[in-house]
Chains A and B, each alone.
Chain A
């Protein structure tokens, strides 16, 4: 054999009576492979002036047919129209007449001894349950005045206040009084109030005053998780991607009509933008639902999913597979997908699920691409260090944050310091009365290297996403109800308020979980990803019940937005203007003297003791803007002298 190995055929080695397949997965990572097969031209389906063009990349396929259908629903019997595609260097292309616009398509791919019918990974529109791609003109999906829709402005990441929501959870409860429950358009219904008179849905978000919503997955997730034909039959968060570039159909009023779900999603985004609320998309490029059944694996086995040298599949995600972002055409796919969402849907930012499974080059390249189209784009993710077949120094994890200077990471230092250990439910955090002052201080300074004692992984406050709870694990209220079960409801409410005060007065980017502002509960369930709506839906009656907590969080957000001292945007400024004060056990106090703030001196104190404590402060007259009861930007009252009494389990903000 004088030619290189033919990857369109399987290779076997036999040694005596043993015979086994030699996987190509390692070969696919080599420069040699990339030189031969990397492709940067158009992929997917596009409607041109005189034809419709299709291109798909699969160097291992021996043949690919384009299959056209009139219907997007495979349960309807239909004889498809089939066109043979031509290959050039691993790229299969085909073209058909414009009369097929509005049809649906799949590819019939022959690889080795198998023929599989698959959906184009680059599909931008799909039929019911995402089983067939749709040939549409995206221009026709734009709502009225879409061309005037703009990204929200965000000068610095630290100016953002992020609210994590779910399209389904925010409206699925009847007491939301939202008509289009669980739908894209339900999220942006206007003028909605519960029977008890509190605002719900969009009105609630507006009232709270956040700058961005981070929305749980709304790309097309797997139909086995949620059947688009009957949305409320099953519940799922949606961290199981099926078609990365198409919206989920179960959120649409008509999931059978591909253009409709796109139009509704764009309308939702437009309405949020009209209210100056940015949209951050929760994206899950790190794994798919079932890699063996995925379009990626069927189109190019062994390429899209991370393997060790011998073809053993990596499973750092815990979902059975990890996407091989380090492979050049996978990296290209992720970049193309993010840029597509940003351009076509005007998405303002991206939250990467299990970002630590992707590699630093991929996320940096995504940032570079995104910034060219939206300089205000925000990118952050979960930088957990998971057991995946990727070299440690290449992982996009917190410890490598210095390699991704423009990417934010969820800060588990402040999270666990506030609420207690995530995976040991009974362990208390600082807010619950545990002595965790050191880690709270690390959180206050955005986990940067502040001094010899307070060190952290981040090289800028932009990188620290500060939070006390998110969709994962117990809600903050449920966690407090476990760690502080002996405490009264009143005391637990104080812990909830103190927790949010820490998040919103720390340097970095604050992040609030939907309902954390009114003691949301999931009835104690730690992982509700597939539990019914009765567990996951937001109970708006709790907003009425805990309206003082809501008002408190709202006041803290206002405080943060009006005072740049809480949004210092460089390590130098944090080191220069923020100084810690001496204070007793289970308290943290610091002073910010930021010359560009109207308040020339600010003191912030957290007291997690069950008794009031005296804190020594510079002598004089001080205004109180936040105490254990209220929060805002007005002086509630004045104090005099060189010490202040801080109420049990509470925060205080003083200024002059």
Chain B
């Protein structure tokens, strides 16, 4: 499993068994402080840090 920031608001997680992941188990922390996230795409698992900018939601998702 690997992850990368693609914008200041979006993390992509790459894993082979993406569909087995239980979404509620994904948590993101800055140091030890949890931060709010929303899940963009369950197949490719794109975690998006919550952001008020609607343009972010229209970004083309990158294939795993």
Interface residues of A (CB under 8 A from B): 1-2, 4-6, 9-16, 18, 20, 22-27, 30, 32-33, 36, 309-311
Q: Which one of A4, A9, A20 lies within 8 Å of B8 (CB-CB)? A: A4
> Which B residues lie within 8 Å of A33 (CB)?
8
Contact B5 A1, beta carbon cutoff 8 Å: no
> Which B residues lie within 8 Å of A310 (CB)?
2-4, 14
> Which A residues lie within 8 Å of B40 (CB)?
none
B27 to chain A, nearest CB (A): 5
27 contacts between A and B (CB under 8 A): A1-B49, A4-B8, A5-B30, A6-B30, A10-B30, A11-B28, A12-B28, A13-B11, A13-B28, A13-B47, A14-B27, A14-B29, A16-B22, A16-B25, A18-B1, A20-B1, A20-B3, A22-B4, A23-B5, A26-B4, A26-B5, A27-B6, A30-B6, A33-B8, A36-B8, A310-B3, A310-B4
> Which B residues lie within 8 Å of A23 (CB)?
3-5
Chain A at the B interface: SS class: loop
The 8 nearest A-B residue pairs measured at CB:
A4-B8, A27-B5, A310-B2, A1-B35, A309-B4, A26-B4, A9-B30, A22-B3
Contact B30 A11, beta carbon cutoff 8 Å: yes
> Which A residues lie within 8 Å of B2 (CB)?
309-310
Q: Which one of B8, B11, B21, B50 lies within 8 Å of A22 (CB-CB)? A: B11
User: In B3-51, which residues have CB < 8 Å from any A CB?
Assistant: 3-9, 11, 13-14, 21-22, 25-31, 35-36, 47, 49-51
> Can you add 15 more A-B contacts, CB < 8 Å, to A1-B50, A5-B8, A24-B5?
A2-B51, A2-B52, A11-B5, A11-B30, A12-B29, A13-B28, A13-B47, A14-B25, A14-B26, A15-B25, A15-B26, A23-B5, A26-B5, A27-B8, A30-B7
Contact A11 B6, beta carbon cutoff 8 Å: no
> Which A residues lie within 8 Å of B7 (CB)?
27, 30, 32
> Which A residues lie within 8 Å of B50 (CB)?
1-2
> Which A residues lie within 8 Å of B14 (CB)?
310
A21 nearest in chain B by CB position: B3
B4 to chain A, nearest CB (A): 4
A136→B31 CA distance, assembly (Å): 41
> Which A residues lie within 8 Å of B31 (CB)?
9-10, 12
A1→B52 CA distance, assembly (Å): 9
A578→B15 CA distance, assembly (Å): 59
Contact B51 A13, beta carbon cutoff 8 Å: no
> Which B residues lie within 8 Å of A11 (CB)?
5, 11, 28-30
A36→B9 CA distance, assembly (Å): 14
A9→B52 CA distance, assembly (Å): 21
A16→B26 CA distance, assembly (Å): 7
Knowing A1-B50, A20-B1 are in contact, say whether A13-B26 is a contact too (CB < 8 A): yes
A4→B6 CA distance, assembly (Å): 12
> Which A residues lie within 8 Å of B49 (CB)?
1, 4-5
A30 nearest in chain B by CB position: B7
A591→B47 CA distance, assembly (Å): 68
Q: Which one of A1, A5, A15, A311 lies within 8 Å of B4 (CB-CB)? A: A311
Q: Which one of B9, B21, B22, B26 lies within 8 Å of A5 (CB-CB)? A: B9
A20→B11 CA distance, assembly (Å): 13
> Which A residues lie within 8 Å of B36 (CB)?
1
> Which B residues lie within 8 Å of A6 (CB)?
30
B50 to chain A, nearest CB (A): 5
A11→B12 CA distance, assembly (Å): 13
A310 nearest in chain B by CB position: B2
B25 nearest in chain A by CB position: A16
A73 to chain B, nearest CB (A): 38
A628→B62 CA distance, assembly (Å): 64
> Which A residues lie within 8 Å of B52 (CB)?
2
Contact B30 A15, beta carbon cutoff 8 Å: no
A552→B24 CA distance, assembly (Å): 79
